[in-house]
Structure 1
Amino acid sequence: MSAVSALIVVDMQNDFCLPKGALAVENAMETLPLINKLLDSDAFNYKVATKDWHPQNHISFASNHPEPHNKPLESFIDMKNIVANKPHETMRQRLWPVHCVQGTRGAELLSELHMDKVDLIVEKGTDERVEMYSAFSDSFGNLTAGEGGVTHDLAGRLHERGITDVYCVGVAGDYCVNYTVLDAAKAGFKTFVIEQGQRCVDPGTWPDVKNGLQKGGAQVLSEDDEQVQRLFTS
């Protein structure tokens, strides 16, 4: 059976990409030519863009926690699985600067993205009680499509369209790309990440992230690999 492929472009938003973005990822803008080239490719049957879409009172924002344990990028909290009514389940959560707040310019996707090629926009992280790096589910694996966590059941949408293969690019490689890729693999898709199409919050972590992705069933490709080059000639 021939592959039916989807492209997921993760969180290419102003707050993550502009030099003065609230949570700017180093060199994120360097990925834009490759990402737009992928968006322009006819090799993909379905193209998705995701974005963080947080309320102002989101649990991951350092400013929503008391001093002195509220330093952006440095402090951590124990986040409870309130969404599933399992407060005994906790997870260590890194605290971030305020970013991608609903309705702000920082939350907008980059104007340079070829958005006319995108079939679906998935807004995620809209439930203030829990973090959501993956476009498929929150950090505890809860899917709350239509109920506050994410606007679409992405796995369901892809399965409905007969998608077999998923390619991911975007930011950040060590967070939202990482968990989106892992969840895509868990959902049964043959999953790939193109490493030149991502950048990390903590760049030095990429080798470990890459190893974790491969252990999680995903394949990490280079843009020079024959498989990727075929995407541009389809």
Structure 2
Amino acid sequence: MTKSALLVVDMQEDFCPPHGALAVAGGRDIASPISRLLAMPFALTVATRDWHPIDHVSFDICNQPPNNKAFECSTMISNPQNAADSMAIPIWPVHCVQGTPGAEIIPEINISEVNRVIDKGQDKGREMFSPFADTFGNKSNAASFDLAAYLNENGISRVFVVGIAGEHCVRCTAIDAKKEGFEVYVVEEGVKCIDYGEDGWEATRRQFEKAGIRLVSIEGLEV
């Protein structure tokens, strides 16, 4: 029998209005469809959290002015497993710092219906949009456990993904789940994006199509 898991990505206070440091417009609005999904008989439900140290490399306060403007500037990081490999990552406001209210999952999500929470981005020198791996594709203790192994150990073959933000952490989570060999679906009613334009969600939709990731409705037969 096919077994499915639901991955709820980063439904945290800092990503939701009204006070989130990186609030996505309408972020709280998707709590209702996500709660509806959580009440369904998925074999496993997992929630992810950004769980950053205060000195995370992506934070504006950890970069030198004038090149430290959140949403405008980027900073270079190196692959910890290959020093010759580097990439630019966006600079963000301080958000989802370990143990702070902003890092907590919003109360509209019934955490008692989640089997396990995975904390990601715990290494100050790594960027980690996906709970499966960092932006270089490395697995490490920057995540609190090996999500792919956990899903495989429980016989999961299909993964449904929802959360914030569609063109960032939801996208990377879905893409990495596909790379890990899972059949992947993204439930559109359970996703909010920062940018719905050609360079944001539309580009993500094209990437999903190319990767074989299906966008589905909560009312669809797949769910």
Question: Which runs of 4 or more aligned residues in structure 1 lie more than 3 Å from their structure 2 counterparts after TM superposition?
Answer: none
Are 1:100 and 2:96 matched, yes or no? yes
User: What amino acid is aligned across from residue 40 of structure 1 in structure 2?
Assistant: A
Are 1:89 and 2:85 matched, yes or no? yes
**Which shows bigger deviation, 50-59 or 199-208?**
199-208
Contact 1:40–1:114, Cα closer than 8 Å, also in 2: no
Offset at residue 217 of structure 1 (A): 2.3
Offset at residue 114 of structure 1 (A): 1.2
User: What amino acid is aligned across from residue 108 of structure 1 in structure 2?
Assistant: E
| CA-atom RMSD in angstroms | 1.0
Distance 1:181 1:73 in 2: 23
Contact 1:194–1:220, Cα closer than 8 Å, also in 2: yes
User: What amino acid is aligned across from residue 166 of structure 1 in structure 2?
Assistant: V
Offset at residue 200 of structure 1 (A): 1.2
Offset at residue 216 of structure 1 (A): 1.7
Distance 1:198 1:75 in 2: 26
Equivalent pairs counted in the alignment come to: 221
Distance 2:215 2:55 in 1: 35
Distance 1:203 1:30 in 2: 16
Report the 3-state secondary structure (helix = DSSP H, G, I; strand = E; otherwise coil) of the residue aligned with 1:198: strand
2:184 maps to 191
User: What amino acid is aligned across from residue 9 of structure 2 in structure 1?
Assistant: V
**Which shows bigger deviation, 86-95 or 196-205?**
196-205
2:20 maps to 21
User: Which residue, out of 145, 156, 170, partners 2:163?
Assistant: 170
- Show CA shifts across 1:11-60 (max 9, x none): 00000013110000111111110000000111x00000000000000011
Q: Percent identity?
A: 42
1:126 maps to 122
1:217 maps to 212
| Long gaps (5+) in structure 2 | none
User: What amino acid is aligned across from residue 89 of structure 1 in structure 2?
Assistant: D
Contact 2:17–2:25, Cα closer than 8 Å, also in 1: no
2:70 maps to 72
Offset at residue 209 of structure 1 (A): 0.6
Distance 2:149 2:212 in 1: 20
Distance 1:201 1:56 in 2: 24
Report the 3-state secondary structure (helix = DSSP H, G, I; strand = E; otherwise coil) of the residue aligned with 2:167: coil
Offset at residue 6 of structure 1 (A): 0.2
Offset at residue 88 of structure 1 (A): 1.4
Report the 3-state secondary structure (helix = DSSP H, G, I; strand = E; otherwise coil) of the residue aligned with 1:175: helix
How does 1:198-213 map onto structure 2 within 5 Å?
A: 198-204=191-197, 205-213=200-208
Distance 1:193 1:91 in 2: 27
**What is the TM-score when the length of structure 2 is the normalising length?**
0.96
Distance 1:71 1:139 in 2: 21
- Show CA shifts across 1:210-229 (max 9, x none): 1101212211112332323x
| Long gaps (5+) in structure 1 | 229-234
Offset at residue 77 of structure 1 (A): 1.6
User: Which residue, out of 150, 153, 159, partners 2:146?
Assistant: 153
Contact 2:97–2:103, Cα closer than 8 Å, also in 1: yes
